[in-house]
Each structure stands twice: as C-alpha cells, then as structure tokens.
Amino acid sequence: MLPLLIKEGRNPQYIPWETQDLEGLKNVLPSLHEGAGRWIKAFEDEITGQLLAIGDLKALLMRLVEFLKLKEIMVRACLKNVADNPMIDGVGFDRVRQNVWRASRDCYPPKMDPQALRGDPLGESENLAAYLEKQLKKWRLETE
C-alpha cells in the first residue's frame, strides 16, 4: 500500500503508513545519528516507487529522533510549522524533499574516522582504473 493513494480523477488521498511498516523500515535503515547522508541513501533505496507524504517522513523521524530535533530539521528546511501541524501531513513529500534532506545533513553530519577507512587490496588480475574507481566510490560513500 502506498502512503499516498491516488484515485482516478481526484486529488491524492492521504493514507498514513501503518506502524509495522515503519518499524520494519526503521530496522533496515542505518543509524541517522551516524550521518544523514547514508541514512537518506538507504531510505531512498527502500521507498523507491512509493509516493510519500510529509506525514510519512514525520512519523518515521519521530521513531528515530526527539520531537525538538524533528522541529529543528523542519525549520531548517523552511517548513516552520510542519512538525506540529497534522493538516500538512497529506502534502506530497516530493515538493520539499531536497530542503528536508539538506536540513537533515546539516543536523546529522557524517561521523566517521578517516583513519578507520581501509581499502581492499588490489586483485592480481584487477584493472587498476577499475580498482581506483571502486575505492573512490567507497570513499565518497563513507565521507559524503
């Protein structure tokens, strides 16, 4: 079931996520506190093809962070009254996605230790350019 249900010839009708969906989603995502970038990527991978509403993200974030942090994210995303206004929950998330992700990254920067990053050894028959590309991709993922 999609969070926003669209019926033919009508405006989208908001149907919030059910608790078990959020708990399952929460359990497969990395910790938001370790950095929003990794969390956002995993979240986007999990919800691909679903039409989300702001209320869906609010419900998920309330299971991950305290209300004041949710409010801070929304204010930073130029959505001042969204955190405590249920009338906005049915608004499509796509309209505000980039602002919310930017604000989330500001509130939860990546926590990583560059000393702990280790690359895989170069394989005997591995192409050097492919190896470097793979390591660069890993570095970007870890450091955002």
The pLDDT of residue 138 is 76
Q: Cα separations (Å) of 74 from 94, 105, 108, 137?
A: 14, 12, 13, 30
d(CA 20, CA 10): 28
**In this predicted structure, what is the pLDDT of residue 131?**
85
Query: Rounded to 5 degrees, what are φ and ψ at 30?
Result: -70, 170
Q: What pLDDT does residue 134 have?
A: 84
pTM comes to 0.71
Tens digits of pLDDT across the chain (144 residues): 446 655 656 676 777 775 557 888 888 899 998 889 889 999 999 888 888 889 889 989 998 999 999 999 999 999 998 998 888 888 889 999 999 999 999 999 887 666 666 677 777 888 888 888 887 887 776 666
Q: How far apart are CA 30 and CA 41, in angstroms?
A: 10
Q: Is 92 helix (H, G, I), strand (E, B) or coil?
A: strand
Contact call for residues 22 and 59 (beta carbons, < 8 A) = yes
Q: What pLDDT was estimated at residue 73?
A: 96
- Which pLDDT does position 61 carry in this prediction? 92
pLDDT, residue 1, reads: 40
Residue 39 · residue 29 · CB < 8 Å: yes
Residue with tokens 């390591």: 135
Q: At 74, which amino acid appears?
A: M
